Amino acid sequence: MKSLKLVCVIAVLVSLVSCSSVIKSSRVTALQENYCAPNIAYQDNTTVEQRSFKDALVAEKLSEHDYNLAAHLGLVPQLSNFLNSKDPLEKIEAKQQIIISTQLFQTEIDALAAELDCNGERYDQLARVLDSKNNTNNTQLTVASIAIGAAVTLSTALITNDNTNKGLNIAGGVVGTGLGFLLLNPKGKKIELRIYRSLLRNVWMENNGDIAFPPALWRVMNDRSFSNEGKLSLIQTLKNRWLLFAFDEEVDKKEEELYFGRGGFFKSDDIHLMSDMNNELQASVRTVQQDLRSLIYSVSMWK
């Protein structure tokens, strides 16, 4: 009878260990805060007139690709001044303005990439916390399974009552089977994460109303001419990759709210996916540096 009670006690402990609970700790609290968000909002330092300015000579000097980038940066008026001015001082001033504008754009790319890198690392750390808790949980389940097996074996050897033995074996078998199922299909721990600023959301919704992306960079990443095939923008291409590889071409409302909405309760796999998507977006942002390099190189050849 004592052994039967032991099995019951272990079964209760197992049920407590295997419960899918939300982790709350100082480490988790520190990582829940989005310390990666910038303190200063991005601003658009160009006007519609500057971005829509046309100049035939500039268009002739630049490739269509470089000209499009210059237009998004509001650089065409400055490039026009540099090419058309006969005054050396005016040319120097125009060149300085061009350098400042391109450096500012480069800084914005670096700043956004740094935020994405920071978020990717933050999610990685959260995932490691979850993985550690889940591994501990599985270890406890394994130990409990061994303990139950030992208790049942010992009891059947000591108890002479056949009916008690049968009952004990059945109870031990049921608990052991339950443990095996939990080990194969662990529920896992969860972390609550509320998301207010999300660069992933901007991509998914194709909306930069909160100006989380620098405006000039957002314009470039939504221009189809900057993608390899020219059929979809960088934003649309990235969104389609997520849809295909991360969600098997279908996202329900619950998943959309979790990953691209205000968040919720995340399992380890969910957090790993958040990290991956931030890293993939960072890579897409970095590709714009190649376009900027092409423009700077072309302009540097001008006399």
pLDDT at 138 over 50: no
pLDDT at 3 over 80: no
213 phi/psi in degrees, rounded to 5: -95, 145
170 pLDDT band (50/70/90 cuts)? low
Average pLDDT over the chain reads 84
Pick the range with the lowest mean pLDDT from 112-121, 151-160, 269-278, 288-297: 151-160
DSSP letter assigned to residue 22: B
Pick the range with the lowest mean pLDDT from 55-64, 175-184, 192-201, 216-225: 175-184
pLDDT digits (tens, 9 = 90+) for 234-283: 999 999 999 999 999 999 999 999 999 999 999 999 999 999 999 999 99
pLDDT digits (tens, 9 = 90+) for 13-31: 444 444 547 888 888 898 9
Find the DSSP H helices in 33-161. Answer: 48-52, 56-61, 64-72, 76-84, 88-158
Q: Is 178 exposed, middle or buried (0-12, 13-18, 19+ CB in 10 A)?
A: middle
Higher pLDDT, 179 or 96: 96
Mean pLDDT within 221-235: 95
